[in-house]
Each structure stands twice: as C-alpha cells, then as structure tokens.
Structure 1
Amino acid sequence: MNEIIFFGRNEFPILIKNEPEEITKPIQFKFENENENEKQIKQISSGNTSIIFLFKNGKAIEYLHENDSNQKPEEIQIEENIQKVTVGDDIEAILTKEGNVFAKGEDINSKNPKEFINISSLIEDINDRIIQDIVCGEYSIYLLTSNQNAYGIGLNNFGQLGFDSKTLKRTEKPILMMKNVSKIFSGNSSRYVFLLNSNQELFGCGFNGFGQLGLGQSRRKEDGIQKLTKIQNIPKGKIIDIQCGGWHSIMLIENENETENPKRKLYSCGGYEYNGLRKNEIIDEFTEIKSSLFENDDDILDFSCGDYHSLILTYKGKMISFGDNESDLMKIFLVIMFFVEI
C-alpha cells in the first residue's frame, strides 16, 4: 500500500485539484480512477517541469508542469521494463532492466527535445553501453556503467561534466568522466556532481559559488570547478549517500568502528540559509549537523535536498525539515514522499 503526501507550491493542477496554490500542510494524494497498477508505486521523481511515477510493473506515467487542469497524464512509451526514473530541470532519463538509458530534453536532443532517445547507445566504447545507474543534475545526466565508468551528457556551463566549459558548453553525446566509480551523486536542481570511487575517495566538479563541493574557501568559484577534483577533509567513516541541492550538499556517514550498531551522522556544506548548521556564513567544508531531533535514541534512515530546503527521515518515522519555507522562492515546487508497505 502506498501513501503519497504532498505539500508545497501546487503547480500541477491535474494532480492536486481543489487545493490552494500554496499547500502549507501535508495532504494525502490519490490518483484519479486509481487502478491496481497505480497502487504499486516503486519510485517518484519530480522537477520544475514534470513528475514521473514509476510502478512496480515496469511502466511509468509522466505529468507535465502546465496550468491546464484538463491535461491527461501520458504513459511513457518504452517497450523495455523501466527500473529507475530521474528528472532534472527540463530533462528526463529512464533506466531499463536491460541496461539501456532513454532520455529527452533540449540539452540532450536539441532537434527533438520531447522525444526519448537511447543515449546509452551513443557511448563510443561498445563495452560500456550497459548502464547500472543514472542520476540527473539540473541540466545534465550522469550514467554509471556496469564496468564502473561514469559518463556525462548535457550542459557543461559550470564544468559539471568535468571539462573546461569554455571549450565544451554542452554535449549531446555521453563523454567519459572518470573510471573506477562506485556511486554518482547529484540533484535535479544541482549544477555540480560528486563521484565516489571504490576506495571511498570522493571527487567533485561544477558550480561551487556557495561551497557546495566542500573544497574549502580557497577553492570557491562562481564559474565552477572545471575538472574533477578530490574532496579533502572528508569525515571518517563510510559514505552512504550524498544529496545535492542547488546551494548546499548533505552527506551521510556511517561509523564503521561500531560494528554492532553503527551510528550514522549527517554532514553539510554550502549556503548558510539552507545547510542546517544555523551559522550565518557559507560553510566550505563538510561539517556535522547536530540536533536533538535525531540523536541518541534515533538514527537517520533517509534524507533529501531540494533547491532551498532539506528533509530528514529517521528510523522511528520522524520527518524533520529545515531551510527556506517561502514557496515563492522555490525552484522545486513540490515535495512528494511515499512509503511502501511490504
């Protein structure tokens, strides 16, 4: 059973009907004429211009950000079983069970931006065309192959593909960024990316005007970090996850020394209005977020960064939020959460 909770700017009127423009209290959402398939949601990904719902049967439907309340959702016509969906500002990507990636958007396919194309088939090395994972940045898409190689496609205006933005503004063909990659981290409002290798070494590139990459004040650059750079002074422990907002990043670290019940801690850097550290200054290196709301008797289960805000979910089911609450400033207009009862 799925329970979908919605709050924020209501700019998808076909989804959330008879509600005000700004929904300040969480409300439950149900599909109109809900069928059995729509009761088995696997994933939801949302951005400025669209939302994609992925169901457990390998099908997905897309809602566009339009003001027409009569707009009908479109089933995404991909013949292969869909395993994951990811949405950026004006780009979308779909990973299938067969390891193919279909994507669309102006920065991916300028000739026909509304048509999904197989971007994994455009990788030059035919041995790298089976994709294991996908992540959307704001205007870029990152691919992790079964050979543990990371590729990028889309905009590179801040060096978020790891290349000099003056010589490569964007690419409609995936380009190799780094080898020996275990995880890729970015966000649908982020113009930067982190790559983690198998040795737990973290690298980053892209927009760093607010210290989002955790490189230190001397490395802060408004025009971006143009090549992949190793992130120093990472807190001790295993990196479990990194969430990237527009102006801040949050990292989840697990203390591997505590074998029986390893403690998870959150670390943040970036713009002080949104990083959860309550300091009136930009934080240029990852710094622990401390709060009595998730210490001692509870632990971090999951968390997410929006453009100007963050959400934390604890193992006890407690939801914690911080950041900017003025929805007229938000570039990500909604937050959707869902819990699946197994």
Structure 2
Amino acid sequence: MYLPKGYDVNPKNTNEFINISSLIEDKNDRIIEDIVSADDSVYLLTSNQNAYGIGSNQYCKFDSETLKKTQKPILMMKNVSKIFSGNASKYVFVLNSNQELFGCGYNYYGQLGLGESRKTTKIQKLTKIQNIPKGKIIDIQSGGDHSIMLIENENENLKRKLYSCGFININGLDKDKNTYEFTEIKSSLFENDNILEFSVGNNHTLILTSKGKFIVFGGNSWAQLGTGDTNEQSIPIQIELPKLRFNENIFNYHISCGFNKSFIYYSPPSFSNLEEDLIKLFRRKEFCDISFKTKNGEIIKAHKLILKYRLNQNQNEFEKLQEIISKKSIKESNQIFEMIYSNNSKINPKLYSEIKEIINFK
C-alpha cells in the first residue's frame, strides 16, 4: 500500500509516495486488507486482523509514546474485524472479532458514545464502549463532532436502525444537550422503512431508505444538505431526489459526504448472470461476425439458440444458429445489439419476457 509522504508521515518530503506497509515491523503482517483515513491519522487493518495507526499521536495514542506524531505504523489492537473513522475525525472506532467495540481520541462532545461518566476531551487509549444497542454493527461513520452507527437486528420488523451520539443540533436526536451514548434516531420518516445506506460529513448526515426516501440533517452553512438554503436542520427532514433520465430504482442510488459537500450518484443496475452471458457472447468475435436478419421473430429465435448453446456448450446448436442468420458486417450486428439492450443497462422490456423463456426452450 502506498501513501503520499505527508507531514505526519515524513516531513522531509511531501511530494512522493512511500510504501507504508513496508514500515510495519512484522514482515508477516504487511498485507493490508483495509485503510481508514481520519483527520490527521491513518488506520490500517492487516490480513492477520491487526489494527495499526500512523500519523497524529495527539488525541488517540497509538502507544505510550509522547510524540505528537509517529512516522511508522504502530500496532494498536489484535483480533480486529473492522476499523471506523472519518475524514473530519480526530477519533476512531475499532470492532474486534467478538463484536466488542472500542474507541479513542477526541471526545469533547461525547462523540465516542462512552456515556456520561466518560466526559473528557481526550480518550487516549482504546476503551471499550458499553451499552451498545443490540444487533450487528454494520457501519459507523464519524464526523468532526458526531457519530452515526447502523445496527441490524434480524429479530425486529425494522431490521436496520440508526443510532447517534455527539454534538447537539447535528446528531439528529432533537435533544437539548449533547448525547454521550449511542441513541436511536427516531422519526416518523423511518416508520416501516429500512436504511439502505448513509454518509457522514464534518457536521451533516445523508440517508437513503428502502422506500426511496432521501433524508438529511445537521449543519448546512455551506448548503451541503441540498435543501435550497443554508439553514441548519437539527432533526431529520426529507428532500426530493434529483430526477434522472433512467427508470430510477432507489437501490441504484448512492450517496457520499465530503467535509462540507454532498454527492448523489446513480449507478445503472448490474446485469443478471443470464444477461451477462448474452453480452459476453455478443462481444466474442465469432458472434460479432454474425448479424441477424431484421425480422424480430428471427432475432428472438437466434437468442434462444445462442442461450441454449451457452448453457449446454452444444456445438450443434451453434451450427444451427449459423444456418438461420446471415453473415453481415460487425457494425450491423452491433446495431441490433443496441436495439435489444436499450440504455446499455436493461434488456428491452418487449423482449425481456421472451428472453426469460429461453431457459425452458427446447
């Protein structure tokens, strides 16, 4: 794994990449499975499930050193399954293989969720977080002063819920003070609805639900909530998703927060295995050299034979295919391909039912 030679890694040179993993003292522990960036630190998870820290050593001490920063990865904890932090965060969460959660770092607003008894600016060593909501921790995302946790519980009707802690007005809890423990974000907007994904910026949060709701809350000084103004939203509110030219499906939307920015992007649906097989066949040279007569019935008939050949790897079927279609230019073949697969993402609805029947074709 390579990172730029930044100030906290190597102050002598800031314009080259260096191999960070090679700086891990244990040569058997240099395969990096995940990397998590924080405000002024970087955390590494190795294939041996060990967590390392490098960079600022001021808020979350990687070890007992008194240095403000360390220029080599320091082992923080063993038997780690996940590391969570955020680009605006001076704190980190570490989940071990027993689903126990630990945290350390900046905690002035209670954003580590350690509870009222741990009100302090800094938690310098990884400390176990008590009173975690029941269920499986799917994700934790950290802002500058608040944290959001996604919990999945198979025993509840609403399987996925969000929990928050940290600074008042940006934690989405509508409290009159900072919240020092992870507390469920309750809103009528979440009734009978599950969380698909969420993203946390410096002081704002974006959420997508399974019923197509786009929910936002938090700081808005830079218009990062997309509400059309710069008014702060202390509780979750719903805004409209942008209209796209596709047949939108909420499962194909994705969200991402920058420090004081927000992004929504739409990813066209992936092909099913059946559709992928057909596309691969069309792209293979032997099929590109063959194009179809323009009559729709013969196109469908060719599709059936192509799929039957693909599923059975039957050379006789391929020969029959050649008999019913005539050789023409690759360009014409590709034109028909585009006709059948409209928008480069979905099979034309008129032919989709026909193609589904191909599996049972005899």
Shared fold per TM-score greater than 0.5 = yes
> Contact between 2:7 and 2:14, CA under 8 Å: does it hold in 1?
yes
**Quick one: distance in 2 between partners of 1:131 and 1:332?**
26
* Cα deviation, residue 168, structure 1: 2.7
Over alpha carbons, which structure has the higher Rg?
Answer: 2
Matched, 1:267 2:167: no
**Matching residue within 310, 316, 325 for 2:220:** 325
* Cα deviation, residue 148, structure 1: 0.4
Structure 2 regions of 5+ residues with no counterpart? 224-229, 233-257, 271-362
Partner of 1:289 in structure 2? 185
* Cα deviation, residue 325, structure 1: 1.1
Partner of 1:6 in structure 2? none
* Cα deviation, residue 111, structure 1: 1.3
Show CA shifts across 1:88-109 (max 9, x none). Answer: xxxxxxxxxxxx2434421122
> Whose helix fraction is larger, Structure 1's or Structure 2's?
2
Pairing 1:89-104 to 2, within 5 Å after superposition: 100-104=1-5
RMSD: 1.9
Partner of 2:288 in structure 1? none
For 2:107, the aligned partner's letter is N
Partner of 2:93 in structure 1? 194
Q: Secondary structure at the match of 1:177?
A: strand
Percent of paired sites with the same residue: 67
**Matching residue within 192, 199, 205 for 1:310:** 205
> Contact between 1:102 and 1:120, CA under 8 Å: does it hold in 2?
no
Pairing 1:42-61 to 2, within 5 Å after superposition: none
**Matching residue within 134, 138, 141 for 2:35:** 134
> Contact between 2:207 and 2:214, CA under 8 Å: does it hold in 1?
yes
- TM-score relative to the length of structure 2: 0.62
Count residues with an aligned counterpart. Answer: 237
Show CA shifts across 1:98-154 (max 9, x none). Answer: xx2434421122111222211011000011100000100001000000000000100
> Contact between 1:163 and 1:226, CA under 8 Å: does it hold in 2?
no
* Cα deviation, residue 218, structure 1: 2.1
Partner of 1:114 in structure 2? 15
> Contact between 2:202 and 2:260, CA under 8 Å: does it hold in 1?
no
Show CA shifts across 1:297-326 (max 9, x none). Answer: x21011111111111111233211101111
Partner of 1:232 in structure 2? 130
Distance 1:225 1:162, change over 3 A: farther
Structure 1 regions of 5+ residues with no counterpart? 1-99
Show CA shifts across 1:39-61 (max 9, x none). Answer: xxxxxxxxxxxxxxxxxxxxxxx
Partner of 2:48 in structure 1? 147
> Contact between 1:101 and 1:131, CA under 8 Å: does it hold in 2?
no
Show CA shifts across 1:243-295 (max 9, x none). Answer: 1000000101111325xx76101110000111000111000000000111122
> Contact between 2:92 and 2:104, CA under 8 Å: does it hold in 1?
yes
Q: Secondary structure at the match of 1:105?
A: coil
**Quick one: distance in 2 between partners of 1:285 and 1:135?**
23
> Whose strand fraction is larger, Structure 1's or Structure 2's?
1
Partner of 2:261 in structure 1? 334
Greater relative CO (CA pairs within 8 A, separation 6+): 1
> Contact between 2:4 and 2:14, CA under 8 Å: does it hold in 1?
no
* Cα deviation, residue 164, structure 1: 4.9
Partner of 1:249 in structure 2? 147
- TM-score relative to the length of structure 1: 0.66
Partner of 1:156 in structure 2? 57
